Amino acid sequence: MPITRPLSLVTGASAGIGAAFAHALAERGHDLVLVARRAERLHALAAVLRESRGIDVTVLPCDLALREAPQRLCMELAERGLAVDWLVNNAGYGVPGSFVGNDWRTHEDFLQVLLVAPTELAWRLLPGMRERGYGRIVNVASLAGFVPGTAGHTLYAAAKAYMIKFSQSLALENRAAGVNVCALCPGFTRSEFHDVTGTRAIMNRLPAFMWLDAAEVARQGIAAVEQGRIVYVPGRVNRLIKALAEALPDRLALWLGSRQARRYRRG
């Protein structure tokens, strides 16, 4: 059974979907551990949540691109006596341009943040959840993990596809122990993601019905993992896109995806 005041750790909590998860979990009465690189933003968010919700908020600034970061983060939690009940692996970003158009360190950091860090955090925090008989893990993947890969942002879809498959296996391994795992797969979400990648002007060409608010994505993600959903795609339009991508022959899906992607690609 869940404890009275669960403790939730949210990575990438300084903005976008991560900040939305922090607000939504705080509204449910969770204490929080906020993780991201931008310490000032984390402290500002923590102050708001403490004041508005009366919860305990721990701020742990951390660059998950560093190989030792997940271990250090979990050691800090242990030293503070903090047992994590909910893990929201949200930290992520995109790398625009072609695969060979970026240096290897750029790709290495990307893989560390989007693949290695969330996998290691789950590995380190799962034993405690299993021992207590209660836990929730939300791995923020993407609709991109289902649709055909396209030129540009070469590693993004591949990384998100990994998170979906990883979540499925993890869910099946741990549900009998009281731990629910969900791959949350949003499509286009209003956040800073496209500002950071420099593609905001291009993405603004998309029609309004294609977009979801970060708060709605977080709300649906929380509901999905509580219901035991293993993979969840928020938004009817996104679910339709997923169904079409899975139904079409590979060659046709790749052709259509490539044709559309050229309209919204930088580099």
Q: Looking at residue 244, what is its pLDDT? A: 83
d(CA 97, CA 153): 6
Q: Using 50, 70 and 90 to split pLDDT, how confident is the model at 211?
A: low
Q: Which domain holds residue 205?
A: 7-264
Question: Is residue 227 assigned to a domain?
Answer: yes
Which residues are CB-neighbours of 24 under 8 A, at least 6 positions away? 215, 218, 219, 222
Kindly indicate the confidence band of residue 147, based on its pLDDT and cuts at 50, 70 and 90: confident
**pLDDT tens digit sequence for 174-183:** 999 999 999 9
Reported confidence tier of residue 194, pLDDT bands at 50, 70, 90 = very low
Provide the b/e sequence for 143-175 (b: ≥16 CB within 10 Å): bbbbbbbbebbbbbbebbbbbbebbeebbeebe
Number of domains in the chain: 1
pLDDT at position 249: 78
138: in domain = yes
Is 28 domain-assigned? yes
Structural domain includes residue 190? yes
Q: How would residue 105 be classed by pLDDT, with cut points 50, 70 and 90?
A: very high
**Quick check: is 58 in a domain?**
yes
**Mean pLDDT of all residues belonging to the chain:** 89
Active site residue: 156, 162, 232, 264, which one? 156
Average pLDDT over residues 213-221: 95
Residue 156 bears catalytic tag: yes
Report if residue 33 sits inside a domain. Answer: yes
CA-to-CA separations, 228 to 70, 86, 167, 218, 232, in angstroms, rounded? 26, 14, 12, 15, 10
The pLDDT > 90 percentage for the chain reads 73
What are the residues facing 57 on neighbouring strands? Answer: 32
pLDDT of residue 197: 46
| pLDDT tens-place string over residues 23-32 | 999 999 999 9
pLDDT digit string (tens) for 151-189?
888 999 999 999 999 999 999 999 999 999 999 999 887
For the cut 80, the answer to whether the pLDDT of residue 261 exceeds it is: no
The string of pLDDT tens digits covering residues 27-64 is 999 999 999 999 999 999 999 999 999 999 999 999 99
CA distance 150 to 37: 29
Question: CATH code at 162?
Answer: 3.40.50.720
How much is the pTM? 0.88
Under the banding of pLDDT at 50, 70 and 90, the label for residue 260 is low
In a domain, 2, yes or no: no
Per-residue pLDDT at 116 exceeds 80: yes
Is the Cβ–Cβ distance between 138 and 88 less than 8 Å?
yes
End-to-end CA gap in the chain:
50
Contact 15, 37 (CB under 8 A): no
3-state secondary structure the chain: CCCCCCEEEEECCCCHHHHHHHHHHHHCCCEEEEEECCHHHHHHHHHHHHHHHCCCEEEEECCCCCCCHHHHHHHHHHHHCCCCCEEEECCCCCCCCCCCCCCHHHHHHHHHHHHHHHHHHHHHHHHHHHHHCCEEEEEECCHHHCCCCCCCCCCHHHHHHHHHHHHHHHHHHHHHHCEEEEEECCCCEECCHHHHCCCHHHHCCCCHHHCEEHHHHHHHHHHHHHCCCCEECCCHHHHHHHHHHHHCCHHHHHHHHHHHHHHHCCC
Is residue 1, in this structure, part of any structural domain at all? Answer: no
Q: With contact defined as beta carbons under 8 Å apart, do 63 and 39 qualify?
A: no
